Each structure stands twice: as C-alpha cells, then as structure tokens.
Chains A and B, each alone.
Chain A
Amino acid sequence: MKINSPLEAYKYLPGTNCAICGEQTCMAFASHLIDRSKKLSECTPMLEDKFRKKLDQLQGLLAPEIRQVEIGVGEKVVKIGGDDVLYRHKLTFFNQTALAYDVWDTMDEKDLVERVNKIQDFKKFYVGNFLTVDMVAVRSTSNDPKKFASAVKKVVETTDMPLVLCSFNPEVLKAGLEVAKDRNPLLYAANKDNWQQVAALALEYDVPVTLFAPNDLDLLKSLAKTFAEMGIEKLVLDPGTFPSGKQLKETFSNFIKIRRAGIDGDREIAYPLMAVPLTAWMVHDDPVSASYWETVVASVFTIKYGDIMILHSIEPYAMLPELHIRDTIYTDPRKPVTVDPGMYKIGSPTKDSPVFVTTNFALTYYTVESDISSNKIDCFLWAIDTDGIGVEAAVAGGQLTAAKIKKGIEDSGFNMKDDTSHNTIILPGLSARLQGDVEDETGSRVLIGPADSGRIPGWLEKNWPPKNK
C-alpha cells in the first residue's frame, strides 16, 4: 500500500458522506480502507463514470505491496501474498500460509487416494471453527508424463483442493496440466534451465507459476523480471529451502531479504514466497526426526514470510503444530479474541443443571463450550470478563477474582438462590485458589472442576448432583 493515512485515501473518495458503504462518513470509510476491513468496491458511487480516474488511482494506491496470487477454483480457492508490512502488529498479515502436503506419481493408486483423503479430511476444532490444511502437491518422481498425468487425474477425482504440479520437466508438467487445467493449479517450477518452456506453459494455460532459484537471488529476480516482461505476473518465488546448517541460515536470510525488498517497493521481486520444508526428509532417515525437523523449518517460515509451503509428514503430531503456528501468526494481533461476557445456556438447562464459570477469552470459552455441548450436557456457562485473558493467567494477574465472578453472574440477572435448586458454582480447576473467596463473596457453595474442560463429563459423573453436606 502506497499510502497509510485515512486522510490520503479520503482525498479520492466522493466526500458526500452518503453512508451507502455502511459508514457514517467518507473519512470513516477511508480509515477502514487503510486497515483493510472494507473494500473499495463497497463505495458504489465510486463506480460511476465520473469517478473512474480516481477509482483507478486509489486502487493503485491501496494495492498491497506483495502481489496476491490465487490458486485453484471455486470454494477452496487459495489466495496467497497480499501483505503490506514486515511486522504483524503494524497491520496484521493477510492470506495465511497455504499448506500443501505431497503425493507422488510412483505411489500405488490405492495409497495415493488414501493419502489424499487423509490430507483433505484432517481437521481440528479451534476457537469456534475447524483448522484444516489447504492443498495437495503432486510430485513427479517418475519423470514420466503418462504416470504423472494419471496421478494428477486420480487426485483431481478424489479432491477439489487446489493443486501444485511439481516437476522440472516441461513435458511432465504439460501432461499434468492437460488433466488439471480447469483447476488453476500452481506450476512448480521454472528454473534456469527450463524457464522458456515453463513460461510457454504458464501462458498457454494461464496458470500461476513458481520460479525456483536455490540460493541465488539475482537469478530469482532475473526470472521474475523476465516472466513479468512476458506478461506472467501470477508468480510465486522459491529461493530454495535448505534444511540444515549454514545453508538453512542463508535460506532464512533470503526470505527476509526478499520480503523486505518487496515491502520496501521493489516491484520486481514483490511476489509471494514458497518454502519447501519437505527437504528436511533429505537429511533425516528416521521418520520422527524428519517430521520434527520439517515442522521446525515450517514454523520458521510460517513466521518469517513463507506464503505457501510443501510438506511431507501427515502425522498429526506434525500437522497440529503446523496448523496452530499458522493460526497464531495470521490472527489479527490488534484485536483480542474475546466473546461477550455473560451467561450462555448450553442445551436446555433447568434449575437442577450445573453452573460453570469460565473466562471471555475466546479460546477458553469455545473450548469449554464445545467440550460441554458435544457431550450433551445441559448447563449454564458464565463467560466472566477477564479482558480476554485465559483462566490461569487471569487468576495470577487479578482479572479473574471472586468479585468479578459475583458481578458477572449478577449482571446477567441470574440469582443463584432462586434460579438454581443447588446454589452451587463450579470453578475451573486452574482457579482453585479462588474457592474460599468466591464462597464468601457469593454465599454459594463452590466446587472445583477439572483443570481441563475435556474432563468435565467424567467429573460430573462423580460430582453431580452435589451431595448435601
């Protein structure tokens, strides 16, 4: 983005405060354009002919420094790139790193289908949603166009996830493209030897293409400049991912250098970056060591500017942290993830149902809520306002106190004595030290629940309904 103040964007807007975009003023809309929470197209008056020039100018000014590239089609289309800053607190990072897991064309057909299904079915609940992975990368290990085409065909039949077609042989790539051309796959890759043929394929099939120049940034930039000159701007840059030693340190430097140059305005190199943590498997024989190191390399390049990566291990112990570190880095750090404080009814609670307390940190809340509701437990659940801090830290930091719990319950108009038959509050295990205080403050009986809400069902079996003292 060439501009960073709402005032600069405001100059181009109609200035009529018509509120069609949903904002009261054009200035408010301008500030949302700058933080990218609104799109220019939401200002429909700008689409009128008389604003055409200003619209074009503003669009140019608002375009992200790093180009955005789309891979795939339909609902599962993956967008990568589109960033404007080097540090996420300045704006947030957009378009989270796309994770592609590999299959190869010498695989047995049944194994291939099974692996693709594992990749596309992998999911983990987190903060109200499921974390999933994005893509399948098909590697040609046979270097045989026919074999590759048939592997790609099998993948296309099995999943609608976007694809990366991997070979340095243009004949092989062409065979894959013929099968997958309607799916807008990412071509991998053009290098110093094959670039003319691969460029021809990218033009002919109008698909995004990766440029590969291991540890040679001059060559990488030359390739990018040449492709751009040919009219191919849907580019992804792979400076090579070396998995160990000083070479890995150099890879780290390369990623930072390319992204810094791009954000600083060097258009010739301002494209999304690809990392290939899979190379960890070329140095580790033992699958656990290889998976660990692959996850470690993936984490480094999720944090430092990798926009898409190709991975091999589909062990959950590798995939879970990969998904979580990506979510961590691409969560907007400017907004605390919270839910509204207050009372939530889970299922259909009655006067005899348990009363649970948790915090309004979204992760805590959704974890507890899903653990309870998936086990079909009817209850009342209070999200106490802890400024979006989780239980353990909130107890230590004083954001979760007996007074806060009392206030939280009372503010929702709930009366422990009248609205329950048991006058009992269940505190999270990690806030056990508040037990006495909460009893004094609320006059209710207080039970200490398990430290992890995943154990609530078992805990309830033993402790609910509460025995009269």
Chain B
Amino acid sequence: MTQKMKLTQLTEMLQELNIESLEGVTIEGDIELNITGGGGLNPALAYALGSEISQISLHMANIGRMLGFPAEQLFASAFGMNGIPGPQAPSLGTTSRMQELLTSKFEVAKMSNWNNPIQEVTLGATSADGGSRKSTVTIGGENALPYYFDAAMPHRNYVTMDVFDMPIGMAKAVKSNYDDVINDPAEWAKKVVRDFNADMVTIHLISTDPLIKDTSARDAAKVVEDVLQAVDVPIVIGGSGNPEKDPEVLEKAAEVAAGERVLLASASLNLDYERIARAAVEHGHVVLSWTQLEINAQKELNRKLMKQCKVPRDSIVMDPTTAALGYGLDYAYTNMERIRLAGLMGDDELTFPMSSGTTNAWGARESWMVASPLKQDSDWGPREYRGPIWEIVTGLALSLAGNDMFMMMHPTSVQVLKEITQTLYGSIEAEELDISNWIGAEV
C-alpha cells in the first residue's frame, strides 16, 4: 500500500497520541526515520535517546496499526517470539465464550408486488347450471405462488386421469392397471374415478388421427357421450393432436357435451384455434390454450382467444407444455414459474390457471426401461418403483411453479402427488412428530 500522507496529517496523528515533540527526528519520504544525534554518544545520552526511540517506535507502531500494518507480527519476529500465539482478534478475545444467546427476532416482509389475482375457472356444470355433473372443480384464484404464506390459496390442485378411446402403447407399469378396461373408454373412466380417486377424467380421442384410425368426428362424439354417462365428474376432451382433424373433432364433441362445461384440449397456434374457441363459447365450455415452452407465444394465443375469438376470461386455462424430469423439465419449470409470476404481477394476458400433461413423464426412459442401456451406469433398480416416482416428481416440480391441474396416468403417482400437494396446501392432518432427536432415530 502506498497511500501518501501529508506531514500535517502525521502531526495531527502524533498529537492525538500525546507526542509533544519529535526533537532530533526528521521524517523523509515513506515511513522512514532518521535519528540524528551528535557523534560520540555518552552513555546517559545514549540511554535517553534509546528510551525516546523506543517510545517513538511504539507510537509509530500504533500509527502502523491504524493504517492496517501488522505491527504485532513484526515485533514478535523482531524479539524472537515466533510461534507464540499472538493476541486473538478483538472480537474473539472478548466474545468467544458467550454466556447467553443474543436475542434476535425473525421478520420477513410479504411480497408487495403480487397484486393481481389469477383468474378463477370452473370446470363441469351441475344440474343447477344446465349440466349433469354431481360436482364441479374450480381452479385458479391464487394471490401468491403456490402454498406461500403471503396469501391463502383458494383452491387445491386437481388431477384429471387419462382415458384413451383405443388401446395405446403404454409403459408396462401403467398398462397393468388398465388391462381390464383398455377396450372400453366408459369403463376406463369409471375405474379411474371409483378406484383411483381421479377428480376429473380426460378422454383422448386419438383414434381420430388420420394416421391412426381416422375415426369420424361423429363416432368420437359418441365416445364422449358414453364417458359423460359413465362418470359424474367434470371431463376434459382431448383430440388426437392432428392439427387438420382436431378442430372438427373438438367441435363435434363440444356440441354433444353442450352445457357440461368441459375443458376442450386444445387450441394452439398451429391449428384453427378460432373454430375450437367458437365451439367452446357457443356451448359453454372452457378452452385449453396450449403452447410450447414459450412465454410470448402463450401471451399471443391467450390474446387471440380473448380479443379475436371473444372467449371470456373465466373460460381459459393454459397449458405451457410439460417436459419430463430429465427431459427438459428445467425449461418447463421456469417457463411456468415465469408465467405465474408475470400473472401475479399484473400481466393480464397470463393470469390464467395452468394445466400440465404430467403423463409425459412416462416418455422418459428412466420411467419405463428395464435397465440402463449404458454399461457404465449404476443399476437403476426395479422399474415398477422408478416409473411412478418419475411422474410424481415431474408433477410436483410444476405444482411448485404454479400448476393447478394435472393430467396423469399411474394410480400411485396420482395418490402421492395429491398427498404432497394437499399437504403443502394445508388440508392433510397428520400426527405431530418430534424431530428434535432425529439423529438417533432407528431407521
């Protein structure tokens, strides 16, 4: 350090240190002292001079310390005191053995910029509202991130379980639960509600895809009617994903489900979303606004649905795309979190509840493959246990990002995901546990 100091400053410092005079001492350049005495010192003078020098050096050491110079170490080495521990830093010396805990009160502010509630959307209609459902499901309404203490969450998460209108390829762990109903969508729908505690049912009309069976929209509508007959929970109607065929199929389905307030899945930018939106408005349904992991595309589609197609705000649910754990969930998670935060902070084009195609988790090889194809990998263990947890963790991550509704397949996954989301929501009672001595627990 070569900080320059003026002589006047040094003089002031010396005054503070009670040095009255520096006789016979000149100060040159940096910190360098020249003591000029007469030649041929007599012993008395030498003693006096030595005494003065040692005093000066002490004062200089003080100055040095004030400037951050480790004077103690220098003295220690000068007097051969190396190895002897120096005095501890002041804070340690005085406080290393505290008698009492310092008291401190924990405080944290609530978020001040979450001012815009998420839109509430109700799915299903009871007889009072012109439908035939026994119960309805309401999602949205949040004023904070999910389960946060900032504001109570008005509605819990809901699970709608997948039913297909024809047998499809499924992971073995999933398929084994549906072997008995795989050719009968109505029975399949009954089973997921009765046995697996599904809040809703999604009927996927995949046989309508021209590349699969090219079933007619009329035949598909018949399946929708069957499912509506078979269960009394709200339903979601999914197309095959074929952008040419879906508008026609969903239009017809919307017509036969008139009054039931189903969720039409989906309107997207790569198909004639206007037709689907019109069918929803006409027959009193809700539109699933589906985009692919892109916040601006989501805004664009929502805007078009609202402005161009006149879909009411309480009839839009977003699906910003679910990628499986290990297969792009990092984007899916953040995309959803950003959408929810933007909505809470006032972006009117993003204040809609969200749905996730959590079943996509079964596309990850970790969820269904018997063993790792890579010899270097550790053993992956039994896939019957691996698969469900893949779906659970995928859904759980998105629930924390703001997802309201889950489309799922495996009964165990549904059960565990419901348990954790409802625990965080605050509606699961459990015996209180004392964890104060968890280290010694016999586990």
Contact = CB atoms under 8 A, between A and B. Distances in A.
A246 B97 CA distance: 38
B366 to A, nearest CB: 6
Interface string A345-385: 00000000000000001010001001100100000000000
A461 interface: no
Q: Which of B363, B416, B443 has the most CB of A within 10 A?
A: B443
B80 interface: no
B92 interface: yes
Given A320-B386, A363-B327, A329 B106 contact: no
A126 B366 CA distance: 11
Contacts of A139: 439-440
Given A231-B92, A244-B433, A279-B435, A225 B365 contact: no
A295 B337 CA distance: 22
Contacts, number: 274
Interface string B374-401: 1111111110011011101100110010
Contacts of A226: 98, 101-102
Nearest to B369: A454
Interface string A447-469: 00000111100000000000000
Interface stretch (A21-29, A253-261, A400-408): A253-261
B101 A222 contact: yes
A196 B241 CA distance: 65
Contact of B385 (A123, A225, A281, A317): A317
A52 interface: yes
B107 A325 contact: no
A219 B102 CA distance: 9
B270 A398 contact: yes
Contact of A390 (B148, B328, B392, B443): B328
Contacts of B426: 246, 249
A282 B433 contact: yes
Interface stretch (A66-74, A76-84, A298-306): A298-306
Nearest to A320: B366
A42 to B, nearest CB: 23
A397 B433 contact: no
B109 A264 contact: yes
Interface in B101-156: 101-109, 147-149
Contacts of A217: 106
B273 interface: no
Interface stretch (B14-22, B57-65, B188-196, B318-326): B318-326
B211 to A, nearest CB: 6
B22 to A, nearest CB: 28
A321 B377 CA distance: 14
On chain B, which size bracket covers the interface?
35 or more
Given A225-B102, A321-B393, A390-B327, A230 B96 contact: yes
B183 interface: no
Q: Which of A130, A283, A299 has the most CB of B within 10 A?
A: A299
A247 B432 contact: yes
B87 interface: no
Contacts of B388: 292
A329 B330 contact: yes
Given A245-B423, A325-B397, A276 B438 contact: yes
Contact of B374 (A221, A281, A296, A371): A371
B89 interface: yes
B430 interface: yes
B337 A324 contact: no
A418 interface: no
B420 interface: yes
Contact of A244 (B147, B375, B428): B428
Interface string A208-227: 00000010011111111110
B104 A222 contact: yes
B292 A393 contact: yes
B440 A141 contact: yes
Contacts of B91: 229-231
Given A244-B423, A283-B433, A304 B1 contact: no
A108 interface: no
B441 A282 contact: yes
B47 interface: no
Given A325-B393, A433-B211, A126 B400 contact: no
B23 interface: no
A200 B375 CA distance: 48
A124 interface: yes
Contact of B430 (A140, A188, A247): A247
B108 A261 contact: yes
A315 B106 contact: no
Nearest to B294: A397
A166 to B, nearest CB: 5
Contacts of A453: 373
Nearest to B110: A260
Given A303-B400, A393-B321, A318 B389 contact: yes
Consensus secondary structure, chain A interface: helix
A58 to B, nearest CB: 17
B193 to A, nearest CB: 24
A336 B332 CA distance: 12
A242 B326 contact: no
A145 interface: no
Nearest to A397: B292
Contacts of A390: 323, 327-328
B400 A214 contact: no
A232 B366 CA distance: 43
B304 interface: no
B42 interface: no
A168 interface: yes
Contact of A324 (B149, B325, B334): B325
Contacts of A249: 147, 423-426
A266 B211 CA distance: 60
B281 interface: no
A308 interface: no
B8 interface: no
A319 to B, nearest CB: 8
Interface in B68-106: 89, 91-92, 95-98, 101-106
A50 B426 CA distance: 58
A329 B331 CA distance: 9
Interface in B327-347: 327-331, 333-334, 337-338, 341
Interface string B393-430: 10011001000000000000000100010011110111
Contacts of A200: 96-97
A147 interface: no
Contacts of B103: 218, 222
Contact of B102 (A229, A252, A397): A229
Given A141-B442, A455-B373, 10 more contacts: A87-B337, A89-B337, A218-B105, A252-B424, A282-B443, A295-B392, A296-B393, A318-B389, A328-B330, A390-B328
12 contacts: A89-B337, A200-B97, A221-B104, A222-B102, A230-B92, A241-B435, A258-B106, A276-B435, A333-B331, A393-B293, A433-B211, A454-B369
